[in-house]
Amino acid sequence: MKNTLKTIVLGLLALCYWSCSKPSIPEPDPVLLISPEKNNSCLPLFSTTSQGVISFEWLESLNTDSYEIHVRNSITGEEQSRSIDLTSAIITIDRGAPYSWWVISESLASPVRTKSEVWSFYLEALQQESYLPFSAQLVSPLNGETISLSSSQYSLQWNGSDLDGDIDYYRVYIGSSETQLNLVQDNLSATSYSASLSSGQTYYWKIITVDEAGNQSESSIFNFTTF
C-alpha cells in the first residue's frame, strides 16, 4: 500500500512538473546578407543624377516572422529603417556616399531582436573619380558591452576600408554621452587606440575615417560600461 501511494505521489509530481514548466521559446536567428555586397560599389536598379534605387537582399532566417532593415548614410548619419515580411527591400538613397546596412530578425513568439552583421557599400555618383571611405566598423568593445578593467587602459578596436585604398588616418572620440564626445586622438594610422578609462563608468565612442583627399566618414556611436 505504501509503495502504491508513493508511486501515485511521484506520478502526480511528475505530471505537475511537465504541465507547469514552460517550454523554451526559440530566439530568431540572424540573417545572412546577400546584396549589396560587403565593401563594394553598388549599381542601382534605377537612378537619377542625385539618387539611386537599391535592391537589398538577404537569406531567410530560422524562427523569424518579420525583418527590419536599416540603411545608414555614413556621411550624414541619416538612417532609414523599414519593417518587412519578405527577404528583400527596395530603398531609394542618395548617390555619391558610403552606406552601412543590417537586418534585424523578429519573432512573434520571442521578445528577442537578433541583429545581422553590418555590411558597407558605396553608391557611386555620376562621373565620380574618387570614393569616400566606408564608415569604420567598431569591433571592441561591442555596443552595450560591459568590460572588466585590469588596468586603467583598454584597447578600442575597429576596422576601416575604402574602395580607393587611400585611408590616411582616423580620429577617435570618447565621451560620457552621445552628445558630449571629445576628440582624444587625431591623425591615428592604426585601427586601435589605448584609452584611459575609469571603473564604474559608461562611455560612448565613435571613429571618423579620413582619406588622402580629405574625404571623411563617421562610424556609428557605441556605448560600453566598465567595472
**Contact of 80 with 94, CB cutoff 8 Å:** no
Average pLDDT over residues 42-67: 94
Q: Which three cell numbers stand for residue 125?
A: 555618383
Q: Regarding beta strands 216-218 and 202-211, do their DSSP bridges make them parallel or antiparallel, or are they unpaired?
A: antiparallel
Distance (Å) of CA 5 to CA 8, 17, 18: 5, 18, 20
The label of the residue with cell 583627399 reads 213
Average pLDDT over residues 23-48: 91
Q: Is the pLDDT of residue 16 over 70?
A: no
Region 137-226: CATH code: 2.60.40.10
Average pLDDT over residues 198-212: 96
Q: Is the pLDDT of residue 15 over 70?
A: no
pTM of the model: 0.73
By mean pLDDT, which of 11-15, 110-114, 179-183 is the weakest?
11-15
> What's domain 33-123's superfamily in CATH?
Immunoglobulins (2.60.40.10)
Range list for CATH 2.60.40.10 in the chain: 33-123, 137-226
Distance separating alpha carbons of residues 62 and 73, to the nearest angstrom: 29
